[in-house]
Amino acid sequence: MHRFLTILIAILLGLAFFWLVVMKVVSRIAASLGASAPCPAAVGWLVDNPIRRNYMHSLLDRVGIRPGERVLELGPGPGVFTVAAAKRAGPQGRLVAVDIQTRMIEQVELRARQAGLTNVETHVASAHSLPLPAASVDRAFLVTVLGEIPNPDRALAELHRVLTPDGVLSVSEEFLDPDYPTAAETIRRVEAAGFRLAERHGNFWLYTLNFRQSVESADERAFHAAGDNFAAVA
Ligand SMILES: C[S@@+](CC[C@H](N)C(=O)[O-])C[C@H]1O[C@@H](n2cnc3c(N)ncnc32)[C@H](O)[C@@H]1O
């Protein structure tokens, strides 16, 4: 019995080490090479579990969806958050779910149908080229997605394009995800894409950061315009 327990603990520690260390290292190397890959639809059950369903509502509270908003959910996976998010947007609002995997979007559509929702729109498309017009979204949210996108800077430029000037970009990350970036890394990356941090929620293990488009002051605009003129003359 003692021997059995020792073997069991060793296996559990080995699995934890593999998931929390090896997978994170592999994922970071892949990201630095621009070779990140989407979480396969076959393991969608990993993100659709009772623990996550339990904190889904508090996470969505932090995202802050309001009735009547046009909301983009980028990378919904099997749709753990989609139905609750669409209900928050309400019949006057719209939830647009965009995922690169057809099998994920099929699961989102099934959930929306089963919930009797008519305000959910789905697209199989890449974050690198969103199938949405400019300034057509009031709020965009991503939960454990940014680290999986091969070119996150390009995706952020697309999110900047589709959001209205006073729109909100909400990024949530969980430590257990192999692609987890720290909050500092996320802030650096998202602010470099022309957003500014407006709200910060959660902790190291699970955080949500809400950004708005950064608006240059008149002085900053004048400074940049002078720089452009200088570059043109030089
Ligand atoms: C880890 S899952 C998260 C699913 C869901 N947001 C959740 O937290 O339950 C990441 C999702 O992002 C999608 N994804 C990854 N890369 C993408 C890309 N380049 N464009 C669009 N979706 C992408 C994957 O297909 C997958 O469904």
Global pTM reads 0.87
Q: Is the pLDDT of residue 34 over 90?
A: no
pLDDT of residue 232: 41
Query: Between 22 and 24, whose confidence is greater?
Result: 24
CA–centroid distance, residue 44 to ligand 1 (Å): 10
- Pocket lined around ligand 1, Cβ cut-off 6 Å: 38-39, 47, 75-77, 80, 99-101, 104, 126-127, 143-145, 148-149
Burial 177-201 (b: 16+ CB within 10 A, else e): bbbbbebeebbebbeebebeeeeeb
pLDDT of residue 17: 63
Query: Between 224 and 98, whose confidence is greater?
Result: 98
Band (pLDDT 50/70/90 cuts) for residue 231 is very low
pLDDT of residue 133: 98
Which amino acid, one-letter code, is at 217? S
CATH class held by domain 41-213 = alpha beta
pLDDT of residue 230: 43
CA–centroid distance, residue 21 to ligand 1 (Å): 21
The whole-angstrom separation of Cα 76 and Cα 36 is: 17
Averaged pLDDT, 168-181: 95
pLDDT of residue 212: 97
pLDDT of residue 226: 64
Contact 177, 66 (CB under 8 A): no
Band (pLDDT 50/70/90 cuts) for residue 9 is confident
The whole-angstrom separation of Cα 211 and Cα 223 is: 24
Query: Between 213 and 10, whose confidence is greater?
Result: 213
